[in-house]
């Protein structure tokens, strides 16, 4: 089937876009949903298979890099794919990203050592970063601004379903077949997505030669990698006060300074700094970063609370999170439909952020009071309702604020900032929790190994005398409460910022 050529306009979004008929849009959307599920599924499916990987391949000390390598490369690749898609079109780059992801999935499946697996995961993350950002950008090319919220809501629901299916599917495949099948399962999904998009996705024709911003890409990659490494490994692999932390922080600072200088001089920069002069783009991106901060801190420490304080198993704590996912599905799908009709994106954005702040505040109160597990379902539902509303609206507000010829760059920049916010959320909340926990445990008894309990987690707590456990659980409860307070405070900041958004309606 021959693809359709659509020329790109330099007019801002909202001044008119080409609208495809529903018959042509359906296969495009189906292909994009499949591709989106690839990237989002692989963020969670690996976690349950990590012990099996370490058992077969060895290299337990480097096991965390299976996750970290993927996160680093996908985050760094996001803005580069976004910029290149504005320059050379989405179709070819999206198909390339899916193909790269598929090929690296095969290589991950046949890896014979932990080193090989980490390297292949690094390149798989590059493909995933391209897939995630280009799917969100591509749908905005083929529907009008007013309709975007409806489709972005469905993308959010896909992300939520993948988050649920990932751990369950990963555990099932690892138990029934092998951990290698968590990678092989990507192949048929990728092939179907490639076939559909190859035959249905319009080609956006480039009109001029472009200058690739090599120095911008290199300095951005160095800066982003250094920041993510510092926040991901600081306090665990190396102490925050160590020489290593200082070196990584210095590299990050210098790289960011060079990146800003290079981008201000570049002919076609990876990130156009003038985008940050647009109020809705800047506020939308910062609030998205706040959402990433709060969401990641909650998702990391809430299961920890369920297992260490309330005594749930890993499977039970995972089941508890279904309340959040179901609520998120409801508001992302139906909220998008309602918002598309009412055309009040700022109002919905504020409402979603307010619900997220309320949900995290509920967690803090319940954790501090050590309430029964079922009370947390209420907090999870509130958080999910807010995320389902706020996440797609943030994307649409940022996209609608950007010039059309910078749509991919704007979407990718927002995703990049959100990833950095998420990494910062885990690091800051984790650091505060660890400090609070150390102080709490030190007051219980001079005979206990405080650092051993902090490092050992559930196994260390289970090995303690029965009489000490209530005091230990209380210390964990108060420490994890602190992480929820931080997340809630950040979301309150996001709520205040969202009030400053310009109240722009989305046009047909």
Q: Render pLDDT for 224-235 as a digit per residue (tens, 0 to 9).
A: 778 877 876 776
Give the helix/strand (H/E) hosting 6. Answer: strand 5-7
Helices first, then strands: H and E counts in the chain? 19, 2
18-21, long-range: CB < 8 A, 24+ apart: 18/141, 18/142, 19/142, 19/143, 19/144, 20/142, 20/143, 20/202
CA 351, 12, 87, 18 torsion-angle sign? positive
- Residue-wise pLDDT tens digits, 5-22: 333 333 333 333 455 666
Instruction: Report the alpha-carbon distance of residue 303 to residue 320 in Å, rounded.
Output: 9
Tell me the mean pLDDT in the region 242-256. Answer: 87
* CB-based contacts of 22, cutoff 8 Å, min separation 6: none
- Residue-wise pLDDT tens digits, 386-432: 888 888 888 888 878 877 777 777 777 787 888 788 777 777 777 77
Instruction: Report the alpha-carbon distance of residue 508 to residue 494 in Å, rounded.
Output: 28
The residue extents of the domains of the chain are 1-209, 211-267, 275-508
Question: Are 1-209 and 275-508 in the same CATH fold?
Answer: yes
Instruction: Report the alpha-carbon distance of residue 252 to residue 247 in Å, rounded.
Output: 9
Q: Which residue has the higher pLDDT, 505 or 492?
A: 492
Instruction: Report the alpha-carbon distance of residue 157 to residue 459 in Å, rounded.
Output: 35
Q: Which residue has the higher pLDDT, 168 or 91?
A: 91
* CB-based contacts of 349, cutoff 8 Å, min separation 6: 287, 389, 390, 393, 394, 397, 498, 501
Q: Over 60: is that where the pLDDT of 508 sits?
A: no
Residue pair 335/348 in contact (Cβ under 8 Å)? The answer is: yes
Alpha-helical segments (H) within 20-144: 22-41, 50-57, 65-88, 90-109, 114-142
Buried b (16+ CB within 10 A) or exposed e, 348-384: bbbbbbbbbbbbbbbbbebbeeeeebeebeebbbbbb
Q: Mean pLDDT, the chain, as a whole number?
A: 77
Instruction: Report the alpha-carbon distance of residue 144 to residue 164 in Å, rounded.
Output: 31
Instruction: Report the alpha-carbon distance of residue 279 to residue 504 in Å, rounded.
Output: 11
Which of these, 163, 49, 166, lies nearest to 108 by C-alpha position?
49
The pLDDT, as a whole number, for residue 99 is: 93
- Residue-wise pLDDT tens digits, 60-103: 656 667 777 887 788 888 888 877 777 777 788 889 999 999 99
Domain 275-508: which topology? Answer: Growth Hormone; Chain: A; (1.20.1250)
Tell me the mean pLDDT in the region 359-374. Answer: 83
Q: Over 80: is that where the pLDDT of 367 sits?
A: yes
Chain-centroid distance, C-alpha 239: 26
Q: Over 90: is that where the pLDDT of 106 sits?
A: yes
- Residue-wise pLDDT tens digits, 431-455: 777 778 777 777 776 566 666 665 5
Residue that is written with structure tokens 């972005």 in the block = 152
Instruction: Report the alpha-carbon distance of residue 79 to residue 87 in Å, rounded.
Output: 13
The CATH architecture annotation of domain 1-209 reads Up-down Bundle (1.20)
The one-character DSSP state at 271 is S
Q: Over 80: is that where the pLDDT of 125 sits?
A: yes
The pLDDT, as a whole number, for residue 19 is: 59
């Amino acid at each position: 089937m021959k693809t359709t050529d659509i020329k790109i306009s330099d007019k801002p979004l909202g001044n008119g876009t080409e609208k495809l008929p529903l018959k042509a849009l359906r296969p495009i959307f189906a292909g994009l949903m499949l591709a989106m599920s690839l990237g989002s599924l692989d963020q969670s499916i690996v976690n349950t298979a990590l012990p099996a990987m370490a058992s077969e391949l060895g290299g337990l000390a480097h096991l965390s890099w299976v996750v970290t390598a993927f996160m680093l490369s996908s985050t760094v690749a996001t803005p580069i794919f976004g910029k290149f898609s504005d320059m050379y079109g989405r179709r070819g780059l999206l198909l390339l990203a899916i193909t790269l992801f598929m090929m690296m999935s095969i290589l991950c499946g046949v890896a014979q050592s932990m080193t090989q697996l980490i390297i292949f995961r690094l390149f798989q993350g590059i493909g995933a970063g391209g897939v995630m950002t280009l799917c969100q950008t591509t749908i905005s090319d083929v529907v009008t601004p007013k309709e975007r919220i409806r489709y972005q809501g469905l993308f959010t629901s896909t992300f939520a379903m993948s988050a649920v299916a990932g751990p369950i599917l990963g555990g099932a495949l690892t138990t029934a077949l092998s951990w290698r099948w968590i990678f092989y399962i990507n192949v048929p999904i990728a092939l179907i997505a490639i076939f559909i998009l190859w035959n249905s996705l319009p080609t956006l024709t480039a009109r001029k030669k472009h200058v690739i911003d090599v120095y911008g890409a290199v300095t951005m990659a160095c800066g982003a990698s250094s920041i993510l490494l510092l926040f991901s490994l600081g306090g665990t692999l190396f102490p925050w006060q160590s020489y290593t932390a200082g070196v990584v922080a210095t590299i990050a600072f210098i790289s960011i300074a060079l990146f800003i200088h290079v981008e201000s001089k570049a002919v076609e920069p990876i990130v156009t700094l003038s985008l940050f002069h647009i109020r809705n783009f800047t506020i939308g991106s910062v609030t998205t970063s706040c959402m990433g901060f709060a969401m990641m801190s909650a998702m990391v420490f809430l299961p920890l609370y369920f297992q260490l304080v309330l005594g749930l198993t890993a499977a039970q704590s995972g089941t508890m999170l279904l309340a959040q996912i179901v609520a998120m599905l409801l508001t992302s799908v139906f909220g998008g439909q309602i918002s598309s009709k009412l055309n009040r994106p700022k109002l919905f954005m504020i409402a979603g952020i307010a619900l997220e702040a309320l949900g995290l505040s509920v967690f803090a109160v319940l954790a501090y009071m050590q309430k029964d597990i079922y009370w947390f379902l209420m907090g999870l539902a509130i958080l999910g309702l807010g995320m389902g509303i706020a996440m797609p609206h943030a994307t649409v507000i940022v996209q609608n604020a950007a010039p059309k010829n910078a749509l991919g760059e704007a979407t990718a920049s927002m995703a990049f900032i959100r990833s950095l916010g998420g990494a910062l959320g885990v690091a800051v909340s984790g650091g505060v929790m660890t400090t609070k926990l150390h102080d709490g445990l030190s007051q219980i008894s001079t005979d206990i190994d405080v650092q051993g309990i902090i490092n050992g987690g559930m196994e260390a707590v289970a090995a303690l005398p029965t009489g000490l456990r209530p005091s230990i659980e209380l210390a964990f409860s108060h420490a994890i409460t602190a992480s929820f307070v931080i997340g809630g405070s950040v979301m309150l900041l996001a709520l205040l910022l969202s009030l400053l958004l310009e109240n722009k309606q989305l046009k047909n």
